[in-house]
Amino acid sequence: MIDIILSQTKEKMRKAIEVTRTDLSSIRSGRATSSLVENIVITAYEGTQKLRVMEMATIGVPDAKTIVITPYDPTTREDLIKGIQAGSANLNPVSDGDVLRITVPLMSQEQREEYIKLAHTKLEGGRIMIRQVRQEAMKDLKRELGDNIISEDQEKVGEKKVQEITDEMIGEIDGIGDRKEQELLQV
């Protein structure tokens, strides 16, 4: 029974890490990445549809400062331009024939520091999600003990293993955070 609780705990913590990783990818670094624009919601087809950029176009990153967006439907080019400008303060797409080009501006030191603070906030959110999963697992172990399914010794071993998994996952989140901070500090 403990093995089931441990595997469920690990799976839930992995999901929390993926949520945190996805959340962090939306933070702009000094480099051009598709994640800067792919989830911006665009109102298209005369306001009848709301779609994300990745649903409307292919997104390419030919170099560290440029994002190229090729709409599937050329008639949505103006909708994409307006939506990206509204959805992102610093990005201005320029129409270049059938494609849109976005030159990612350099970040100031103040912007970098603000993005680092934002990253720390998102990382703490990830740690909190992992701690909540740990708390659920500990309650499950106590319930199993109360129902006489496991012994006190098994509960203690289970709690120790849950804590080891928690420490490992928190370490993984810290590693992701360190990499993001290094990325943000690169000029």
pLDDT at 174: 95
User: What is the span of the domain harbouring residue 150?
Assistant: 2-26+108-185
Give 131-147 pLDDT, tens digit per residue: 999 999 999 999 999 99
Of 103, 120, 145, which residue is a domain's last?
A: 103
Residues 179 and 113 in one domain: yes
Of 103, 128, 144, which residue is a domain's last?
A: 103
Q: Which residue has the tokens 């298209």?
A: 44
Side-chain half-sphere exposure of 22, counting CA atoms within 13 A = 8
Residues 54 and 118 in one domain: no
**pLDDT average, residue stretch 167-175:** 96
- In the 8-state DSSP scheme, what is residue 35? G
Residues 124 and 62 in one domain: no
Q: What is the CATH number of the domain that holds 13?
A: 1.10.132.20
> Is the pTM higher than 0.85?
no
Residues 112 and 181 in one domain: yes
Query: What tokens appear for 141 in the block?
Result: 């172990």
Residues 158 and 174 in one domain: yes
Neighbours of 46 (CB within 10 A): 7
pLDDT at 28: 73
| Number of structural domains in the chain | 2
Side-chain half-sphere exposure of 55, counting CA atoms within 13 A = 10
